[in-house]
Amino acid sequence: PTLRVALMGLGDYASRVAEAMQSCKRAKITGLISGTPAKLQQWGEKYQVPEDSRYSYENFDSIRDNSNIDVVYVITPNALHHEHTIRAAKAGKHVICEKPMALDVKEGQEMIDACAQAGVKLLVGYRMHFEPNTLEIIQMRDKGELGKITFFQGLSGFRIGDPSQWRLNKALAGGGSLVDIGIYSVNGARYMVGEEPIWVTAQETKTDTIKFKDGVDETIQFQLGFPSGAVASCLSSYNIDHLDRFFLSGDKGFAELHPANGYGPIKGRTHKNELRMPHGAQQTLQMDEMAAIILDGKQPIIPVDGIEGLKDVKIMEAIYQACATGQKQELKLL
């Protein structure tokens, strides 16, 4: 069977997902949710979604009666993920929610609970979890080819433009660079090291208090400690360009991804050779794999469920706490 997907929030990233889904083998767009009638019409015609499967934010709860939709893919600004996920679950639909899953741990837990209560699955849009070069490294690590893992470095950032966008508005974004782009290093530290961190320290620097208002972080450096003794050192920024690199070191070898998280080909090397797994649109792979997870109960190599999303939210909350207090924060993720 094919996973029938309603896209919610027809912005930049939804456009990328919609285009990539045209090449999916097991997922297709059968519904649209937007606050802009003109977008509903334009997207509806382009992707052949009939009028009775186009919804607004006011009336999308009636998606419950639409037997041609299995899942709602929430691609709205971060602060709306909580409400949109819970309403979609209550309408009896599975949910794929974009990252960051929630603004805080309380919200994230409520989303997990609502999906459990409704008997629907909750997945988070972690596209890297299906990326072949990334998975190649994880396989090598699990086979012991890198030896004992001792260190991870994650660099995630770019110089953000337009100061009026929602990403720089605390109410809609829930934070700054960390929740938007630094989350790739938070999440990546966990899947690259292959353990859950037990403590975090963090430091924030702000050079532009006009563009990056209170609660919107410009640059954060953070460090994670893992039970084995491995450590991670990461950088998240909205004001430093060309930050897209992962480095993993073990006592028998290393692996490097650069770029590590961009939409284009993920490139990298290990102490043995260049990584050369084939590249397709990451969102095509993601949606086909998510179809198998939702429809067949397939277990992904790296989890993409709500619990996985909530772990990253917990760590980010602790990072903000560490920045505010200057104190090391203990973490309990398991």
Taking contact as CB under 6 A, which single stretch among the options 7-15, 218-226, 236-244, 324-332 is the one that binds ligand NAD? 7-15
Is residue 314 within 8 A of residue 333, CB to CB? The reply is yes
Q: Which of 184, 191, 238, 320 is catalytic?
A: 184
Cα 291–Cα 297–Cα 302 angle in degrees, nearest 5: 80
Beta bridge partners of 106: none
Taking contact as CB under 6 A, which single stretch among the options 74-82, 149-157, 269-277, 322-330 is the one that binds ligand NAD? 74-82
Question: Judged by CB, which is closer to ligand NAD: 94, or 99?
Answer: 99
- What's the residue count for the chain? 334
Query: If phi over 0 gives left and psi between -120 and 50 gives alpha, with beta otherwise, what is residue 31?
Result: beta
**Annotated catalytic, 184?**
yes
Question: Per-residue x/- mask for ligand NAD, residues 162 to 181, rule CB under 6 A?
Answer: ----x-----x-------x-
Question: Judged by CB, which is closer to ligand NAD: 16, or 258?
Answer: 16
141 part of the interface to ligand NAD, by CB under 6 A? no
Taking contact as CB under 6 A, which single stretch among the options 4-12, 88-96, 264-272, 303-311 is the one that binds ligand NAD? 4-12
158 part of the interface to ligand NAD, by CB under 6 A? no
**Annotated catalytic, 328?**
no
Name the token pair of 31.
Answer: 């519904």
Which of residues 31, 44, 108, 125 is near ligand NAD by CB under 6 A? 125
Annotate 225-240 with b (16+ C-beta within 10 A) or e (fewer): bbeeebbbbbbbbbbb
Q: Which amino acid, residue 129?
A: H
Q: How far apart are CA 219 and CA 177, in angstroms?
A: 7
Q: What angle, rounded to 10 degrees, do the helices at 132-142 and 183-193 form? A: 40
Is residue 190 within 8 A of residue 232, CB to CB? The reply is no
Residue 28, classed as helix, strand or coil, is: strand
Rg over alpha carbons for the chain, rounded to the nearest Å, is 20
How many residues touch ligand NAD (CB under 6 A)? 19
Taking contact as CB under 6 A, which single stretch among the options 3-11, 61-69, 101-109, 196-204 is the one that binds ligand NAD? 3-11
309 part of the interface to ligand NAD, by CB under 6 A? no
Q: How far is the CB of 90 from ligand NAD (least distance, A)?
A: 19
161 part of the interface to ligand NAD, by CB under 6 A? no
Ranges within 8-27 binding ligand NAD (CB under 6 A) = 9-14
98 part of the interface to ligand NAD, by CB under 6 A? yes
Q: Are strands 268-270 and 149-159 parallel, antiparallel or unpaired?
A: unpaired
Chain contacts with ligand NAD (rule: CB under 6 A):
9-14, 35, 75-78, 80, 98-99, 125, 127, 166, 172, 180
Write out the catalytic residue numbers: 99, 184
